[in-house]
Structure 1
């Protein structure tokens, strides 16, 4: 019986310490961008580490669809489709308490690999002054709507109280 009570007391003390440790860290939130390769610097972050309680925002693929009727804007103009898609991403993040700087992962889809440099220029312009998030670039056959040349999906993280 004494062993059982001692075990319960130790278990309770452990639970208290774990809870106190968890509560002590509950208010801390950080997002750090890292690069390990020279070629990735100024192109994308190779890793983002989020610690502490966070709210994650997952955006579906966003392209140049008109928000009202779904028609493709900027037909045959890759750079403008890219800019328009990123402006929609920015708006969606802001509606959820986040900014472009809070993106922890982005995946871009293009229908023509020859637009790689324009896509890179568009990203550089979009993220001017903030770290570029980790990024995956995919060349695919087609997107959701005929005429779409670019689409991006992102995951963002902010402190849980935002």
Structure 2
């Protein structure tokens, strides 16, 4: 079994290095993606705007899965954390926009008191099986 770290341009590598994590880990054809938040080029986007943050999170997921040679259609599992129940609609709208494959991934949704930074409203981690869809 071959295991490699996956990263991509535009993702905040300083945080990954500081806290010792990989954006994605590819093991054979299974890609595990760390929880993604609304960061672009190291800056928070969409402060106080769940719609903008949700779209950025899915863009980050897309960037990582594509860097590993897959597409969002290869996602088989997602875990979503939101800081307020009222964010469910906008997060689901982004999900519908980005995840349009024939077999949608499984989904777990958790409402939490907070995320790593107070500006973050949503975080999504995922698992993809490359070439599955």
TM-score > 0.5 by shorter chain: yes
> Is residue 29 of structure 2 the alignment partner of residue 55 of structure 1?
yes
TM-score of the aligned structures, taking structure 1 as reference length: 0.61
TM-score of the aligned structures, taking structure 2 as reference length: 0.73
The answer for the alignment partner of 1:132 in structure 2 is: 104
**2:40 & 2:116 partners in 1: Cα distance?**
13
**After the TM superposition, which parts of structure 1 deviate over 4 Å for at least 4 consecutive aligned residues?**
none
Root mean square deviation, CA, Å: 1.7
SS of corresponding position for 1:106: strand
1:131, distance to aligned residue in structure 2 (A) = 3.1
The answer for the alignment partner of 1:143 in structure 2 is: 115
> Is residue 75 of structure 2 the alignment partner of residue 97 of structure 1?
no
- 1:79–1:119 contact (8 Å) kept in structure 2: yes
Larger strand proportion, structure 1 or 2? 2
Matches within 5 A, 1:1-162: 55-67=29-41, 69=42, 71-159=43-131
SS of corresponding position for 2:47: coil
| Gaps in structure 1 of 5+ consecutive residues | 1-53
Larger helix proportion, structure 1 or 2? 1
- Matched length: 105
